[in-house]
């Protein structure tokens, strides 16, 4: 991507028309649209491939096959989301999705075909074969590749890799860009813009077991919260049922399409157990499959179950799942001959920065799209493969809405002498102590705020997280320190929202309130920082009070 930076107010302040924080599918689609309207700066930790989108395997759900239509796609999405989805947002997702996919194909995305036609597969909770794939099981990387190639042709787009966003810049109740830390030099700068789009992805790293890459630390969610934006549905964390379980390796996602193609789940007694939990067996919704696996692990005192795909045939598995086959082989597991040890891992956040149908947050000047946002399309449980489509659809819509910011702002504030540019003194905590809190947080979230929760475990987690939060006020302003501070804040919001929701619905399961849904379940948790203290949660239309406050 083009590298020279645009106009400067000073050596520490860069002005532009649009600032994008993040570089996945949603960010790239937003950048392509915004480049038509003005200068765009795209800021990201690490390189262009360090994002959740790049690692997405299974595919992208879209109603394009002959047996499908948008009405069916919408119905499946609402059902998987346990009727907590926003109907208007879901309607936009399924109706605008086909256009965004056709556009991507025109830009060179190579989806798999059979006899010259797009190939569709089926995943859990889908009533039709509607999941497009690329490279067998490398859909996300192909979509990122195609969007990146398109983005590289744009003269108005500037790429700033290896930069960490620290805080959003707020003046008179409006967002005007962000404070950025250069990972390599340690210097601070402000990128000032009338419109900022958060596309920073999720926060899987707050859990000890996650399919997310190392940089999924919830930075955008935490920054938006500190700036005063409303977060919604933070208790709804999706755990992918089947991640590779090996004590010596990080969890590796085993795509749901393995089960879609006929893979079978077995416990350590060799029993096929999903028949005891749901009539759709291995293709039940993800929350049900994950809890079924967890229950079997508890019942048989095992650390994992098995995914058996050996009956599908060696040739088929190697051609259909080349990434999974080669990765497992690296860990000495031949999926054509052996059952694969699997257990659930934190995978996707349904909640996030609350947005409207155009990606606008509750904070003027701030927009959000993709996993960092709560657009309402996922409800209590995301339908498989809807996330990449959401990134395309709402990345585009957020960019369209952000483009009007240039017409509604007369002048930009001067941040040349901003106190933000001065690193706080007295940061005496060592990086090792920060790392200790980070690892402890991940273990705590996994054991007390994971697949199965209780009021007692959640209250213990809240108390512990608050202690860590206070300690981290002395954390250094480097990437580990900033990320850990964000992870602790996001963990606190998840935990308090989970404590507040005294019922079980979708991905949120309370063992002390096991009754499905329960009373007054059609509400959304909302978390907003009025002052710089712990989160306050309210229900839909501010009618519900949080538990324990």
pLDDT tens-digit map of 130-149: 999 988 777 888 999 999 99
Q: Say if residues 522 and 539 touch (Cβ distance below 8 Å).
A: no
Cα dihedral across residues 203, 205, 211, 215: positive or negative: positive
Dist CA 70 CA 66 (whole Å): 11
Report the b/e string of 478-511 with b at 16+ CB within 10 A. Answer: bbebbbbbbbbbbbbbbbbbbbbbebbbbbbbbe
Residue whose tokens read 């860069």: 14
CATH architecture for residues 427-517: Up-down Bundle (1.20)
Dist CA 370 CA 393 (whole Å): 9
DSSP 505: B
Dist CA 326 CA 321 (whole Å): 9
| Maximum separation of any 2 CA atoms in the chain, in Å | 69
Question: Which pLDDT score is estimated for 158?
Answer: 95
Cα pseudo-dihedral 186, 201, 306, 268, rounded to 10: 80
pLDDT tens-digit map of 494-549: 999 999 999 999 999 999 998 877 767 889 999 998 633 344 444 333 333 333 32
Q: Say if residues 87 and 78 touch (Cβ distance below 8 Å).
A: yes
Dist CA 377 CA 382 (whole Å): 8
* Both structure tokens of 90: 């879901």
Give the bridge partners for 114, in sequence order: 117
Question: Which pLDDT score is estimated for 55?
Answer: 56
Q: In sequence order, which ranges of 454-540 are alpha helices (DSSP H)?
A: 455-471, 479-500
Please name the residues in contact with 287: beta carbons below 8 A apart, sequence gap of 6 or more: 238, 239, 380, 381, 506, 507, 509
**Burial (0-12, 13-18, 19+ Cβ within 10 Å), 333:** middle
Per-residue pLDDT of the chain (549 residues; tens, 9 = 90+): 433 333 333 468 999 999 999 989 999 999 999 999 999 999 999 766 665 555 555 689 999 999 999 999 999 999 999 989 999 999 999 999 999 999 999 999 999 999 999 999 888 789 999 999 988 777 888 999 999 999 999 999 999 999 999 999 999 999 999 999 999 899 999 999 999 999 999 999 999 999 898 999 999 999 999 999 999 999 999 999 999 999 877 788 888 889 989 999 999 999 999 999 999 999 888 888 999 999 999 999 999 999 999 999 999 999 999 989 999 999 999 999 999 999 999 999 999 999 999 999 999 999 999 999 999 999 999 998 999 999 999 999 999 999 998 777 667 787 777 777 777 776 689 999 999 999 999 999 999 999 999 999 999 999 999 999 999 999 998 999 999 999 999 999 999 999 999 999 999 999 999 887 776 788 999 999 863 334 444 433 333 333 332
* Domain residue ranges in the chain: 8-235+350-408, 240-346, 427-517
CATH architecture for residues 240-346: Alpha-Beta Complex (3.90)
Q: Which residues are catalytic?
A: 286
Dist CA 377 CA 90 (whole Å): 5
Question: Which pLDDT score is estimated for 50?
Answer: 60
Q: Is it true that 8-235+350-408 and 427-517 share their CATH fold?
A: no
Question: Which pLDDT score is estimated for 453?
Answer: 96
Residue whose tokens read 């960490």: 164
Q: Say if residues 294 and 273 touch (Cβ distance below 8 Å).
A: no
- Let me know if domain 8-235+350-408 sits in CATH 3.40.1130.10: no
* Both structure tokens of 46: 């690490």
């Amino acid at each position: 991507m083009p590298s020279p930076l645009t106009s400067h107010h000073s050596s520490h302040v860069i002005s532009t028309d649009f600032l994008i924080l993040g570089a996945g599918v949603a960010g790239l689609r937003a950048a392509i649209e915004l480049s038509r309207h003005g200068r765009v700066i795209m800021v990201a930790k690490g390189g262009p491939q360090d994002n959740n989108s790049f690692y997405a395997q299974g595919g992208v759900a879209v109603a394009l096959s002959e047996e499908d239509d948008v009405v069916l796609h919408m119905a499946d999405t609402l059902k998987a989301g346990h009727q907590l989805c926003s109907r208007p947002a879901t309607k936009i997702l399924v109706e605008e999705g086909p256009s965004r996919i056709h556009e991507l194909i025109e830009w060179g995305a190579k989806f798999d075909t059979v006899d010259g036609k797009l190939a569709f597969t089926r995943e859990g909770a889908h009533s039709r074969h509607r999941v497009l794939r690329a490279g067998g099981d490398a859909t996300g990387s192909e979509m990122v590749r195609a969007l990146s190639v398109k983005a590289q042709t744009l003269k108005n787009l500037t790429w700033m890799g290896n930069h960490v966003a620290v805080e959003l810049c707020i003046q008179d109740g409006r967002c005007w860009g962000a404070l950025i830390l250069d990972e390599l030099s340690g210097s601070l700068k402000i990128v000032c813009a009338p419109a900022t789009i958060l596309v920073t992805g999720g926060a899987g790293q707050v859990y000890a077991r996650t399919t997310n890459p190392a940089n999924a630390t919830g930075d955008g969610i935490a920054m938006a919260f500190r700036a005063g934006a409303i977060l919604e549905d933070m208790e709804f964390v999706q755990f992918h049922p089947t991640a590779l379980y090996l004590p010596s390796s990080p969890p590796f996602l085993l795509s749901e399409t393995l089960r879609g193609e006929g893979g079978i789940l077995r416990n350590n007694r060799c029993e096929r157990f999903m028949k005891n939990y749901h009539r759709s067996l291995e293709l039940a919704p993800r929350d049900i499959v994950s809890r079924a696996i967890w229950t079997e692990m508890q019942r048989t005192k095992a650390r994992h179950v098995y995914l058996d795909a050996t009956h599908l045939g060696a040739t088929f598995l190697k051609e259909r799942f080349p990434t999974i086959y080669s990765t497992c082989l690296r860990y000495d597991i031949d999926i054509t001959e052996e059952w694969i040890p699997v257990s659930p891992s934190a995978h996707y956040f349904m909640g996030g920065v609350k947005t409207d149908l155009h990606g606008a947050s509750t904070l003027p000047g701030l927009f959000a799209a993709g996993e960092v946002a709560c657009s309402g399309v996922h409800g209590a449980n995301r339908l498989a493969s809807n996330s990449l489509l959401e990134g395309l659809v709402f990345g585009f819509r957020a960019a369209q809405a952000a483009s009007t910011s240039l017409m509604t702002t007369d002048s930009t504030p001067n941040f040349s002498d901003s106190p933000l540019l001065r690193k706080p003194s007295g940061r005496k905590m060592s990086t090792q102590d920060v790392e200790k809190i980070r690892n402890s947080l991940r273990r705590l979230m996994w054991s007390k705020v994971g697949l199965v929760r209780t009021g007692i475990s959640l209250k213990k987690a809240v108390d512990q997280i608050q202690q860590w939060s206070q300690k981290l006020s002395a954390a250094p302003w480097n990437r580990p320190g900033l990320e850990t501070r964000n992870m602790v804040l996001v963990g606190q919001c998840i935990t308090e929202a989970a404590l507040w929701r005294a019922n079980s619905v979708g991905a949120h399961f309370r063992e002390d309130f096991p009754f499905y849904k329960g009373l007054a379940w059609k509400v959304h948790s909302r978390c907003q920082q009025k002052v710089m203290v712990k989160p306050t949660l309210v229900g839909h239309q501010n009618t519900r009070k949080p538990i324990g406050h």
